[in-house]
């Protein structure tokens, strides 16, 4: 067994009496790409936080053996010194600093306390070449795309001589092309002898990339298997503990009645008002329809819907009609009053208020409904409604007064949905509704979309997950560089290639 680089044995971790990890064992071979799969809240992140020193030695039970040595990792610096580096889902880069400073932050090359910039620059260039990243070391990180930023993070880990690289959902916000580049680089790092732990919900990537898969469910290790012996369905089954026959439970509820229309809509960049982010968009939505918006990251989809909703600081003009009436929307409240709601793309930043309870988050957009004399909140009715929706959306939470940040991503997302569903809606805009959410919660959200469409609500769904767009939409609009480039009615013959071809700017079919 001396080819193991890492062995975690009998790891137990409790949070205020709740067991997040229950005797989890996890072994990684030297030089392999090892995928760690499991639903959100299964304990993957907790396990990786123990390994990378976020939760110090002593706050958990069990042993970590790294390179044949028993480790007592007290903090992140300890882990990095041993050669373990983690790249979190939310990148930890300094946007206002240049690439080379980011790579060496906290790890500067210096002599006698003086920073040695030329050495850092040349090492950066070497690392960037290795990453096949063609940027100047002086470029500010904020000028790079998400995919390039991810590569800078990896370069940063390599600069610290990491031999074990942990990637937490690295492709969640990458476009298809960027994913390819990342996969290619991970393959080359493997040849160089860097071991990689890869956490992902995207099972296609896992099957393509990983040598071994370990599945964790409800804080227990379910098993480790060689990837080549597995199929996607088998992994899903291990993750959810039951068989999911159909990932996309599509139902058709579309009617002939138009509920919502956008005409000649143009959105300008906040910092550069001469640049159009959305150029003359026109579309309509029918009652009960699920309208998918496909396109690459940066195609202008989020800017389009958030400015329609009244949540955009830059300039925009165009006409928005609801049931044939021209609307004038200046603030999200105007939209909500009309029965239009938007589930934002960035849940943590725009969706939830982390320090508030599940109940308070849920009733935030409807709080006026509970207003009694003297502005008093009707606790009784508020609790009743929150309780109703907790049951209806199957939100898993210890209680309504639990702080929302203690919930898993999928359950947080359901709370945000509940917040808007508590209002009477005509149009629901969903911006990346299932990003970073586990298979089980995804399935529930799809079913919910079906139920809402059946109630006659028109749904706009932005998604970078093509199978999802194809699986759930009645009609698909494809955006490319701010323009609506193509429109597809969803039918059996439509495939991902056709959409992708259009999204990258190819001729419309």
Chain contacts with other proteins (rule: CB under 8 A): 16, 309, 311, 331-333, 335-337, 342, 344, 349-356, 360, 364-365, 367-368, 370-371, 374-377, 379-380, 383-384, 387, 399-401, 419
Structure-token pair, residue 357: 């309870």
Alpha carbon distance, N-terminus to C-terminus of the chain: 56
DSSP one-letter string for 156-177: HHHHTT-SEEEEESTTTT--HH
Rg (CA), the chain: 24
- Smallest separation, CB 375 to other proteins (Å): 4
Looking at the Cβ atoms of 150 and 366, the one nearer to other proteins is: 366
CB of 489 within 8 A of CB of 477? no
- Smallest separation, CB 12 to other proteins (Å): 19
Q: What are phi and psi of 186, to 5 degrees?
A: -60, -40
Structure-token pair, residue 443: 């399935």
Looking at the Cβ atoms of 178 and 385, the one nearer to other proteins is: 385
Looking at the Cβ atoms of 233 and 388, the one nearer to other proteins is: 388
- Smallest separation, CB 346 to other proteins (Å): 9
Question: Chain centroid to CA 27: how far?
Answer: 27
- Smallest separation, CB 82 to other proteins (Å): 24
Q: What is d(CA 199, CA 291) in angstroms, rounded to the nearest whole number?
A: 31
- Smallest separation, CB 348 to other proteins (Å): 9
Question: Chain centroid to CA 472: how far?
Answer: 18
Helical H segments across 255-366, by residue range: 301-309, 332-338, 358-362
- Smallest separation, CB 356 to other proteins (Å): 5
* β-pair type (340-343, 33-37): unpaired
- Give the Å distances, CA to CA, from 331 to 310, 335, 435: 4, 7, 26
Looking at the Cβ atoms of 273 and 505, the one nearer to other proteins is: 273
Looking at the Cβ atoms of 232 and 371, the one nearer to other proteins is: 371
Looking at the Cβ atoms of 220 and 423, the one nearer to other proteins is: 423
- Smallest separation, CB 60 to other proteins (Å): 15
- Smallest separation, CB 377 to other proteins (Å): 6
CB of 239 within 8 A of CB of 438? yes
Q: What is d(CA 106, CA 109) in angstroms, rounded to the nearest whole number?
A: 9
β strands within 49-151, DSSP E? 61-66, 69-71, 84-87, 110-111, 114-115
Looking at the Cβ atoms of 125 and 406, the one nearer to other proteins is: 406
CB of 87 within 8 A of CB of 166? yes
How many other CB atoms sit within 10 Å of the CB of residue 176?
Answer: 15
Structure-token pair, residue 284: 């309509």
Looking at the Cβ atoms of 317 and 371, the one nearer to other proteins is: 371
- Smallest separation, CB 365 to other proteins (Å): 4
- Smallest separation, CB 334 to other proteins (Å): 9
Looking at the Cβ atoms of 374 and 507, the one nearer to other proteins is: 374
Q: What is d(CA 468, CA 491) in angstroms, rounded to the nearest whole number?
A: 14
Looking at the Cβ atoms of 193 and 398, the one nearer to other proteins is: 398
Burial class (CB in 10 A: 0-12, 13-18, 19+), 51: buried
């Amino acid at each position: 067994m001396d080819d193991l680089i890492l062995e975690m044995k009998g790891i137990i971790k409790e949070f205020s009496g709740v067991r997040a990890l229950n005797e989890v064992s996890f072994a990684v071979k030297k030089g392999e790409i090892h995928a760690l799969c499991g639903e959100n809240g299964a304990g993957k992140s907790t396990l990786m936080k123990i390994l990378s020193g976020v939760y110090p030695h002593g706050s958990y039970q069990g042993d970590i053996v790294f390179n044949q040595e028993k480790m007592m990792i007290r903090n992140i610096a300890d882990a990095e010194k041993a050669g373990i580096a983690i790249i979190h889902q939310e990148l930890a880069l300094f946007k206002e600093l240049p690439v080379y400073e980011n790579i060496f932050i906290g790890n500067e090359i210096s002599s006698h306390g003086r920073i040695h910039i030329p050495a850092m620059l040349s090492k950066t260039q070497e690392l960037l070449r290795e990453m096949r990243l063609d940027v100047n070391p002086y470029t500010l990180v904020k000028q790079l795309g998400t995919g390039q930023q991810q590569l800078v993070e990896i370069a940063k880990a390599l600069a610290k001589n990491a031999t074990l690289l942990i990637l937490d959902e690295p492709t969640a916000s990458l476009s298809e092309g960027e994913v390819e580049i990342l996969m290619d680089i991970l393959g080359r790092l493997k040849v160089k002898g860097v071991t990689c732990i890869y956490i992902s919900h995207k099972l296609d990537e896992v099957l393509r990339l990983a040598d071994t898969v370990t599945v964790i469910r409800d804080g227990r290790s379910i098993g480790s298997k060689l990837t080549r012996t597995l199929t996607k369905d088998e992994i899903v089954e291990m993750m959810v503990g039951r068989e999911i026959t159909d990932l996309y439970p599509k139902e058709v509820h579309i009617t002939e009645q138009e509920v919502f229309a956008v005409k000649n809509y143009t959105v300008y960049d906040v910092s550069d008002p001469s640049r159009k982010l959305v150029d003359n968009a026109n579309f309509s939505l029918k009652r009960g329809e699920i309208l998918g918006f496909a396109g690459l990251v940066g195609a202008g989809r989020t800017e389009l819907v958030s400015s329609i909703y009244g949540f955009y600081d830059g300039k925009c003009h165009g006409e928005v009609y609801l049931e044939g009436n021209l609307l004038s929307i200046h603030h999200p409240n105007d939209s909500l009053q009309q029965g239009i709601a938007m589930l934002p793309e960035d849940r943590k930043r725009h969706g939830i208020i982390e320090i508030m309870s599940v109940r308070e988050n849920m009733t935030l957009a409807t709080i006026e409904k509970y207003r009694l004399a003297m502005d008093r909140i009707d606790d009784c009715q508020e609790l009743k409604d929150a309780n109703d929706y907790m049951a209806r959306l199957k939100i898993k939470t210890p209680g309504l007064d639990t702080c929302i940040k203690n919930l898993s991503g999928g359950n947080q997302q359901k709370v945000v949905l509940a917040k808007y569903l508590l209002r009477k809606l005509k149009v629901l805009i969903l911006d990346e509704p299932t990003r970073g959410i586990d298979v089980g919660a995804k399935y529930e959200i799809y079913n919910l979309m079906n139920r809402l469409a059946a109630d006659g609500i028109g749904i706009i769904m932005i998604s970078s997950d093509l199978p999802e767009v194809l699986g759930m939409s009645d009609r698909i609009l494809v955006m490319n560089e701010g323009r609506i480039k193509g429109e597809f009615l969803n039918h059996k013959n439509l495939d991902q290639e056709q959409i992708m071809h259009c999204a990258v700017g190819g001729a419309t079919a």
